[in-house]
Chains A and B, each alone.
Chain A
Amino acid sequence: MTTYFMSAEVLARAVDQWQDSAILGPLVTERLAWLDSMDTSGVSSMSILEALRQPRAAQSLKGVMLPASESLGRYGSRAPAATAIQTAATVVLGVRACELRALGYLDKVFLAGAVEDPSYRARRQRTTIVSCDCVAFAETCFCTLVGGRPFATGGFDVNLTPLEDGWIVEVASDKGRKLLGSVQPAQATGEQLARREDVRRRMTQRVADQNKAFSFSAGDAAAPKLPEGGDDGWQKFAADCVECGGCTNICPTCHCFYLYDQTPGPSTFERVRTWDSCLLNAYHRMAGGVHMKLSPRPLLLSRLANRVLHKYVYSPQQYGLAGCTGCGRCIDACPGAIDIRRVVQELAR
């Protein structure tokens, strides 16, 4: 790893060079949405960098690796050929530590199992990740409660830390080095690195202070003791759930999907993958007659419990990683104002 210091103007020149690749980054708006393909001719690199000083974007990195809906290929009367997956080289700018942690989780799911997921692998390999420390955070951010920090120490190609007078730029891979191109920055000084440590320490403390009301601590190796989904304690929260699936869509680790087939032409069939949600009744529903039990979780409280248990209890068992990175997006998204921090706080024994 090499750590540089750049003025905003110099870093902006580096960002200018990435125009050949699709840059996914935070859009300069109040709400900081991800742009699907940012047209940097419309937005100056300087204003992109300024936007990075705002809290995390509304959407996470998930959709870049696992689109909401995608074709998995066509099939018919011949053996399926290796499908060429068309993905442009992409630079993702402004990824936060919580999203990198979520990406590590998705890597475990889609790349470390018995079978590698070809389209996830293709997208992952062609993506260069430029992460950024948080110097502001949302009211719903709680990474410190689940063993996270508002800055990344790994998992990126380049990491940025905004300081008052410029940027600390940490390069961690060859991909990252290539991104800097012709820009020749100076190494960060000890004094600059000390200021980075200071920013990081203060931000961590501020996120922890914001969450003082919550006393649980969870993480990759520490699952809170939550009641199983048959317990009535869940009903209090399920009563506020409108079963919209917003929390699972916005979650950076939720990866459940649904496969369906369509017929784009005569004797041509296509298999499509689309996001699905374990909160929805139809998600579990099996075929069968009226006298049969068609869903193992007919009650909404069981489905809500299953989601939270998967994040906090099952994921550490399955992957050695927590399924919740404390990004707080599900809290923002929920029309019923369900706060997963409160759920864990009140139900953990």
Chain B
Amino acid sequence: MISDNPYLPWPAELIEVVDETPTIKTLVVRPEEPLAFRAGQFVQLTVPGMGEAPFTPSSSPLEGQRIALTILRTGTVTEQMHQCRPGQVLGLRGPFGKGYPLEKLQGKEVLVVGGGVGLAPLRALILALLAQLDGIKRMSIKYGARCMEELLYRSEYSRWTPNPKVDFTCTIDRPQAGWDGRTGMVTTLLKNLDVDKANCYVFVCGPSIMLKFVTFELVAEGFHKDHIYLSMNRRMSCGMGLCGRCNIGPYYLCKDGPDVNYALIENYPNVF
């Protein structure tokens, strides 16, 4: 969907708005032309006249005409996005980035670790892998949110787990009335896992602080650094490695990421 001018967005009609949590909405858009993307690639969503912000679609890459973008209200542009109503025409640029390295997962175990709205891009990975479960050995999903109300995609968890190859565990930060599940940070779900660590790929997405402690926990637990893929938080503008602001060392996350393996970046400063 990249035209001669890669800086201008293509029109995309907003067809549905889903209230996910008190702070998160999913905007489903229909691009004028179907968008072919790989799970983990991202798009720039434009509110015309207001500006754009990067999101990795949370929907399956198999559906190019219904792109779901799950958005936390956290700044000027996302506030505007939360005000949008179905029928409105937004803009889309992309896809950008490499996407998840699905080709490496053949016959492997997959550990998916999400924090808060970080489950959104991972949902595209989960849906892509659910569609080809024969290819992988097993998928384990660990998810943490601040509180019960902030758990994303609550109605879907049971749909992810009917196959014994898939398991899902979630936790909330602190005990809460009406919650009988696990409490504590998502790192508490990563201890003493019964997985073949040498043959397990891990995909992590969440806020910076969560990425940091999950990574340290995973390394301490014996996971290989080059098997840990982090969805790094950086400001991204052009999406093509030109505008400069998303670098970690010589890597531009928009072009070389947004998910990068930890071994590639661990020795650069200011990673987390």
| Chain A interface (Cβ < 8 Å from any Cβ of B) | 72-83, 109-110, 113-115, 117-118, 228-231, 255-263, 267, 269, 271, 273, 276, 278, 283-289, 292-293, 296-297, 302, 305-306, 309-310, 313-315, 317-318
Contacts and interface: CB of A to CB of B under 8 A. Distances in A.
Contacts of B76: 287
Contacts of A305: 269
B3 interface: yes
Interface in B207-248: 207-209, 233-235, 237-238, 240-245, 247-248
Given A284-B245, A289-B74, A317-B250, A80 B5 contact: yes
A306 B247 contact: yes
A229 B244 contact: no
Contacts of B51: 259-261
Interface stretch (B6-14, B104-112, B173-181): B6-14
A262 B240 CA distance: 22
Interface size class of B (residues with CB under 8 A): 35 or more
A31 to B, nearest CB: 29
Contact of B8 (A72, A283, A287): A72
Interface in B117-140: none
Contacts of B267: 228
Contact of B52 (A73, A261, A289, A296): A261
Contact of B78 (A263, A271, A287): A287
Contact of A114 (B5, B240, B249, B270): B240
A313 B249 CA distance: 9
B255 interface: yes
Interface of B: 2-11, 32-33, 46, 48-53, 74-78, 89, 91, 207-209, 233-235, 237-238, 240-245, 247-250, 255, 267-272
Contact of A230 (B78, B255, B270): B270
Contacts of B247: 306, 310, 314
A267 B235 CA distance: 27
B243 A287 contact: no
B214 to A, nearest CB: 15
Nearest to A299: B270
Contacts of A284: 234-235, 245
A116 B234 CA distance: 23
A78 B33 CA distance: 11
A115 B240 contact: yes
Contact of B7 (A73, A302, A314): A73
A315 B207 CA distance: 29
Contacts of B268: 228-229
Contacts of B53: 287
A318 B250 contact: yes
B206 to A, nearest CB: 11
A261 B7 contact: no
A80 B270 contact: no
B91 to A, nearest CB: 6
A79 B249 contact: no
Contact of A287 (B49, B50, B74, B272): B74
